[in-house]
Amino acid sequence: MIERESIFLKALNKETLPIPPIWYMRQAGRYMPEYRAVRKKFKNFLDMCKEPDVCCELALQPINAFELDSAILFSDILTIPDAMGLDVKFLEGEGPVFGNPIKTAKDVLNIKPFDSDSLSYVYKAVGNIRSALPKHIPLIGFCGSPWTLAAYSIEGKSSKDFLFTRNFLKENDDEAHIFLNKLTDACFEYLKRQIEAGADVIQIFDSWANLLTEDDYKVYSLKYITTLIGLLKNDAVTKNIPIILFSREPKVQLKTIMTSQSDCLSLYWSMNDIDLNEVKNKVAIQGNLNPEILLESNEVIKQETLKILQKFKNYPGYIFNLGHGITPNINPDKVKFLTDLIRSI
Ligand code: 1CP
């Protein structure tokens, strides 16, 4: 059990802290040489995710390198579609490719029911990471939002615009909702198992929220996230676990996203125009430094970081993070510089 003096948990509880807790989205990954050394032993990335001891080692790499205030499970959001028989593969340097994507309405009706036992390798990784972490460092479990998982599953790969998926929604609206409901139930079962295995906090990644218009976002994404959070908040095992919601550049206002009842909103880097008074004391905030700033000089990193720290200075419950994940081209020295900088101010 995690010790309650974790500053990350305090911030999630909307406390104002002298120095914000720090962790980074995609903190374990290809930008770290330690990661690449392990990664090269596996052809398919998901095969690596199926090794709980390897996941444990990878989740701890950024904690050891930068002394961050939270760890995140090493896995991927696409474990659920893989478990539903969609056959997800990641080859070196490429995005995900689905061997068996959802192409037609019939495919939705024939999809294999989600069996949470089939992802036991993930819960084993959670247990291993929790045991290996110091007691004051929380562990974040995670899943993709139902919409984001549906977008990959229908498109069958990553895409800039997910055109096939958006046409699928237009032509097969009933089945799209059936699929989103199935994914919502799967996410709930999956997160519950992660929490039972030792996850202290949950993050939901709505990484493709930006594809949807304001109205469509409410219908295809927010509705299912709200249902998922409702299930978690009403279950005896999961109800006290803080939930962070990351939405990539959503077309709606923060107060609309807050209806999801998440405990913390993770702000994308371009969300600069927000009225913090609208959300203050209602929700913790995480983010929103542009990850590309880490490609700049230390001087620029410092200037931009000071702006963010100033913006959230007296905000009750601010967690330092980037506005999206660390990319493979970032130098780990810059991550170290940024982390030390925040703690020195
Ligand atoms: O420390 C960590 O965060 C590592 C654990 C982690 C997490 C939380 C990984 C490992 N993936 C994720 C979440 C994830 N996966 C998201 C949500 C976060 C975000 O928006 O960035 C998404 C969209 C994915 C899907 C995914 N998996 C992509 C993106 C494809 C696209 O559409 O552009 C990729 C490239 C992956 C593979 C992957 N997952 C994780 C790693 C380290 C990698 C790289 C694989 C490799 O080494 O080849």
Domains of the chain, with CATH numbers?
7-344 (3.20.20.210)
Q: Is 42 in the pocket of ligand 1 (CB under 6 A)?
A: no
Dig out the tokens for 301 from the structure: 């990193």
d(CA 122, CA 51): 9
User: Residue 76's pLDDT is what?
Assistant: 98
Which residue type does 197 have? A
User: In angstroms, what is the span from residue 344 Cα to ligand 1's centroid?
Assistant: 30
Dig out the tokens for 141 from the structure: 């479990």
Selecting among 39, 107, 166, 216, the annotated active-site residue is 39
User: In angstroms, what is the span from residue 190 Cα to ligand 1's centroid?
Assistant: 18
User: Residue 92's pLDDT is what?
Assistant: 66
CB contact set of 37 (below 8 Å; sequence gap of 6+): none
In the chain, alpha helices (H): 7-12, 33-39, 45-49, 52-66, 79-81, 105-110, 120-132, 146-155, 163-171, 173-197, 214-216, 223-233, 254-257, 298-311, 332-344
216 carries an active-site annotation: no
193 carries an active-site annotation: no
CB contact set of 160 (below 8 Å; sequence gap of 6+): none
Q: Is 77 in the pocket of ligand 1 (CB under 6 A)?
A: yes
Instruction: List per-residue pLDDT tens for the chain, 345 residues long.
Output: 565 589 999 999 999 999 999 999 999 999 999 999 999 999 999 999 999 999 999 999 999 999 999 999 999 999 999 999 999 999 766 789 999 999 999 999 999 999 999 999 999 999 999 999 999 999 999 999 999 999 999 999 999 999 999 999 999 999 999 999 999 999 999 999 999 999 999 999 999 999 999 999 999 999 999 999 999 999 999 999 999 999 999 999 999 999 999 999 999 999 988 889 999 999 999 999 999 999 999 999 999 999 999 999 999 999 999 999 999 999 999 999 999 999 998
User: Residue 273's pLDDT is what?
Assistant: 83
User: In angstroms, what is the span from residue 26 Cα to ligand 1's centroid?
Assistant: 7
Q: What is the dihedral of CA 304, 305, 308, 314, to 10 degrees?
A: -140
Q: Which of 328, 123, 133, 140 is nearest to 245 (CA)?
A: 140
Q: Is 28 in the pocket of ligand 1 (CB under 6 A)?
A: yes
Length of the chain: 345
User: In angstroms, what is the span from residue 250 Cα to ligand 1's centroid?
Assistant: 19
User: Residue 69's pLDDT is what?
Assistant: 98
Q: Is 158 in the pocket of ligand 1 (CB under 6 A)?
A: yes
Selecting among 24, 35, 123, 152, the annotated active-site residue is 152
Q: To which H or E segment does residue 287 belong?
A: strand 284-289
